[in-house]
Amino acid sequence: MADVEVLVVAGGASGGSTLAGGGGAGGYVYDADYPVSIGTFAVVVGAGGALVNNQKPGLDGYASSFDGAALVAAGGGAGGCYAGSHPNGHAGGCGGGGAGIENGTGGGGSQGHQGGQGSGGFGCGGGGGCGGDGAAGGGTSEGGVGLEFAQFAAVAGSPAGWFGGGGGGAKQASGPAGGQGGGGAASSYNSGSAATGGTDGTGGGGGGAGAYNTNSGKGGSGIVIVRYADGLITATGGSVTSTGGYTYHKFTADGTFEVTAEGGADTTAETLLMLSTFGQSVHLRR
């Protein structure tokens, strides 16, 4: 039995379209000492919510997991939109932002923070991030900040080592930024441009769209990373990198983490050590 570090980040949600709130970031689960032994461990990486267009709420992100139900991160909650009776952000791993004008409320976050509140005017709430709430509409409307896991900076994050930033909520004359950790920026009501999507591999939420007939930002896909000291185990699965005395397995799509040996030894084949003791050969199986 050996202990490894595991970070699981779900897919972020998309922002809504038309005076819309930002998408909430995917939730996360981190275990610094997850016990593994020889065998296989299923990995699921959640997709981000798809972008939407013209008076539609965003779409929720999808869950990520490691080892079945053992470690599960919840997908982000979608951003609300003006009109169509969908002003409120959805609940999720991190909550989506509420729409402006209709005073949409931000959705709650089960593994992160809630989305921002719509202002009742042109300010829409930012999507919640893993590390902080989305800003209330009428303020900056920026997406909630994510969390930094500096030990994973060598292989992932946006910027390096940061995950789970919320999407920005739309305003009248500016496009508020997404939260650090892969959150997408909103578009303004006056610009007529598309919002920015969350960064794939971070679980970042997508930005909300301001004007009619413009696209919201999609949610960023999630990620699963396993890290352990070099030589602790022998394992396969994902994109494997060894640096700074650690081995990383980065999963950006569904797969399997398989431990084939502990202590770096090959346990799939019989190893015979021939020792001469008092003129006799002794076979030791390792």
The band of 285, judged by pLDDT with boundaries at 50, 70 and 90, is: very low
Would the pLDDT of 16 be above 90? yes
The band of 83, judged by pLDDT with boundaries at 50, 70 and 90, is: confident
Measure the CA–CA gap between 38 and 235, rounded to whole angstroms. Answer: 9
Rounded (10°) CA dihedral 216, 181, 9, 96 = -40
Measure the CA–CA gap between 101 and 258, rounded to whole angstroms. Answer: 51
Whole-model pTM over 0.95: no
For residues 223 and 249, is the Cβ–Cβ distance under 8 A?
no
Residue 243's Cβ-count burial label (10 Å; 0-12, 13-18, 19+) is exposed
For residues 206 and 194, is the Cβ–Cβ distance under 8 A?
no
Cβ neighbours around 163 below 10 Å, total:
34
Instruction: Choose the weakest-confidence range: 138-142, 166-170, 196-200.
Output: 138-142
For residues 145 and 181, is the Cβ–Cβ distance under 8 A?
yes
The band of 43, judged by pLDDT with boundaries at 50, 70 and 90, is: very high
Region 182-194: what's the mean pLDDT?
94
Measure the CA–CA gap between 44 and 178, rounded to whole angstroms. Answer: 25
Measure the CA–CA gap between 193 and 208, rounded to whole angstroms. Answer: 11
Would the pLDDT of 262 be above 70? yes
Whole-number pLDDT of residue 264? 61
Q: Report CA-CA distances (Å) from 256 to 33, 41, 203, 236, 251.
A: 19, 6, 20, 8, 9
DSSP-assigned letter for residue 56: B
Would the pLDDT of 138 be above 90? no
What does DSSP say about strands 2-9 and 39-44: parallel, antiparallel, or unpaired?
Answer: unpaired
Whole-number pLDDT of residue 276? 31
Measure the CA–CA gap between 86 and 16, rounded to whole angstroms. Answer: 9
The band of 280, judged by pLDDT with boundaries at 50, 70 and 90, is: very low
Measure the CA–CA gap between 16 and 262, rounded to whole angstroms. Answer: 48
Would the pLDDT of 78 be above 80? yes
Region 166-192: what's the mean pLDDT?
95
Region 11-23: what's the mean pLDDT?
97
The band of 152, judged by pLDDT with boundaries at 50, 70 and 90, is: very high
Whole-number pLDDT of residue 274? 28
Whole-number pLDDT of residue 139? 82
Round to the nearest angstrom and report the end-to-end CA distance of the chain: 16
Percent of the chain, pLDDT > 90? Answer: 86
Mean predicted lDDT score pLDDT of the chain: 91
The band of 263, judged by pLDDT with boundaries at 50, 70 and 90, is: confident
Would the pLDDT of 267 be above 50? no
Q: 117-143 burial string, b = 16+ CB within 10 Å, else e?
A: bbbeebbbbbbbbbbbbbbbbbbbbbb
Would the pLDDT of 206 be above 50? yes
Phi and psi angles of residue 26, each rounded to the nearest 5 degrees, phi first: -65, 145
